[in-house]
Amino acid sequence: MSNEEEFYDAVTGLDSDDSYEGVSEASFKDALVYDGNSQKNNGSVLQENGIKKHRTSLPAPMFSRNNVSIWSILKKCIGMELSKITMPIVFNEPLSFLQRITEYMEHTYLINRACSLADSIERMQAVAAFAVSAVASQWDRTGKPFNPLLGETYELTREDQGFRLVSEQVSHHPPVSAFHAESLSGDFVFHGSIYPKLKFWGKNVEAEPKGTITLEILKHNEAYTWSNPCCCVHNVILGKLWIEQYGTVEIVNHRTGDKCVLNFKPGGMFYKELHKVEGYIQDKSKKKHCVIYGKWTECMWSVHPQTYEAYKKSEKKGDIKKQRNEEQEGAENDDADDMPEVQETVSVIPGSTLLWRVDPRPAHSAQMYNFTNFAMSLNELEPGMDAIVAPTDCRLRPDIRAMENGNMDEASQEKERLEEKQRAARKERAKSEEEWSTRWFQMGTNPHTGAQSWLYTGGYFNRNYKDLPDIY
């Protein structure tokens, strides 16, 4: 599939796969494997151990984008914010952005691991691995999530991973999505608000995910905060489309003063650094305790700083001659930002400890918008669920549902109808000088950073959904 057929709405995004205290990651994941003895329960699969099996496929494969030219749409938009541009539905994926940010929770087992650890540096390692894993689902995701309607919500409860989450679109201009996740066992709270700024720069789309993320580990009375890296999608017009994450992510433990600084490296010359993440953890006295390295598409490792430095010195000596030869052979390509066809895997330094490894995607992922297994389940509407979730939930949104079912004409018509309905509602509020009122979140002060942020006010799961806006 050429990149002219594809479009990416990059933004920090993140996922989950969970384990409980006292249960190893491997044994927990083994328990989730469908053993053939499962039985149907209310339309979903229930295993012998009581864990529900979520769907691993969409109702219809991805629609072909072969006959659609993105250049005809984007050529007038260089330097503009893409949130203000209406894109044809063919460039979308059948998820709302509220569902996309829920993918932060895919590797929730890393938070559970942090909760169970006694040492603050080890906890920071698990939190750092979680922060990196949060962007892993973005790899090869070339579809644009649907922009949430003002007042749109999404909820997700995953008993297998031990959390529940609620999110709300709290602002339309600028677009702001607020979310709040909490452990079902009371171990952690994870929350934040995201304001994605996307721009088109001729060949590339750049996404800056503004907003701070906060993770509170309640057992240890700790709060960690960070922001996600920038993302660039190369060759949206010509050449092979590829994704680059770059920038510095600083994770702060506000109780201990420990800090993790992660450098998401740009591809660099010959793209040798593509996908690489390197950083370190230091305590409040600035003593470095470990170096963290790996790739956000693959895995993350931890190693002692002295071991790391010795390894890099020996590696550098062997690379100097090779690098000089490559520089002589290199040439610039003005038509497309080339990338190597084969990506090297992470070179593991002896003595390193594995912190996280990405789960493989299903074999049919390429025909399903390159979704992970976790993403595949996010828009699943189980029997009876429509009577339980809020009427503003993404699962009930007709344009996304039509697209998921492969009905592209209906999806396009519904998307246009919903957008017009939203514009009409905004005009009515302006006439009566009525201010929009959020339902589940309100602006307040983050107690750990002192910055203004959207904070969950509670009450969503009491199921009192009276007086919610009619947005669909």
Whether the CB-CB separation of 205 and 218 falls below 8 Å is answered with no
* Residue 33 located in a structural domain: yes
pLDDT at residue 298, rounded to an integer = 94
**Distance between CA 245 and CA 263 in Å, rounded?**
10
pLDDT at residue 358, rounded to an integer = 95
pLDDT-derived band of residue 142, with 50, 70 and 90 as boundaries?
Answer: confident
pLDDT-derived band of residue 329, with 50, 70 and 90 as boundaries?
Answer: very low
Asked if the model's pLDDT at residue 240 lies above 50, the reply is yes
Stretch 144-156: mean pLDDT: 95
What is the rounded average pLDDT for all residues in the chain?
82
* Residue 449 located in a structural domain: yes
Buried b or exposed e, range 378-401, using 16+ CB within 10 angstroms? bbeeeeebeeebbebbbbbbbbbb
pLDDT at residue 113, rounded to an integer = 97
Closest CA relative to residue 201, chosen from 229, 239, 242, 236: 236
* Residue 29 located in a structural domain: yes
Which single residue is written with the structure tokens 């384990």?
A: 19
* Residue 441 located in a structural domain: yes
* Residue 13 located in a structural domain: yes
pLDDT tens-digit map of 431-453: 999 999 999 999 999 999 999 99
pLDDT at residue 130, rounded to an integer = 98
* Residue 67 located in a structural domain: yes
**Distance between CA 138 and CA 87 in Å, rounded?**
20
Least confident of 109-123, 220-234, 263-277: 263-277
Per this entry, what is the length of the chain?
A: 472
Domain span at residue 31 reads 3-244+364-462
Stretch 44-58: mean pLDDT: 70
pLDDT at residue 415, rounded to an integer = 95
By the 10 Å C-beta count (0-12 exposed, 13-18 middle, 19+ buried), 421 is classed as middle
Stretch 457-468: mean pLDDT: 94
pLDDT-derived band of residue 238, with 50, 70 and 90 as boundaries?
Answer: low
Which single residue is written with the structure tokens 């520089």?
A: 327
Whether the CB-CB separation of 397 and 96 falls below 8 Å is answered with yes
143 vs 439, higher pLDDT: 439
pLDDT-derived band of residue 345, with 50, 70 and 90 as boundaries?
Answer: confident
Stretch 151-175: mean pLDDT: 96
Stretch 411-422: mean pLDDT: 95
Whether the CB-CB separation of 181 and 190 falls below 8 Å is answered with yes
Q: Which one-letter DSSP state was computed for residue 218?
A: G
pLDDT-derived band of residue 23, with 50, 70 and 90 as boundaries?
Answer: very low
Asked if the model's pLDDT at residue 262 lies above 70, the reply is yes
pLDDT at residue 32, rounded to an integer = 30
Neighbours of 135 (CB within 10 A): 27
pLDDT tens-digit map of 36-48: 333 333 345 555 4
**Distance between CA 372 and CA 362 in Å, rounded?**
7
| Residues 388, 48, 25: CA angle, nearest 5 degrees | 90
Task: Name the amino acid, one letter, at 247.
Answer: G
Number of domains in the chain: 1
pLDDT tens-digit map of 187-202: 999 999 998 777 777 6
| Residues 70, 74, 80: CA angle, nearest 5 degrees | 145
* Residue 91 located in a structural domain: yes
pLDDT tens-digit map of 367-383: 999 999 999 999 999 99
Which single residue is written with the structure tokens 């962007």?
A: 135
Task: Name the amino acid, one letter, at 142.
Answer: T
pLDDT at residue 84, rounded to an integer = 56
* Residue 87 located in a structural domain: yes
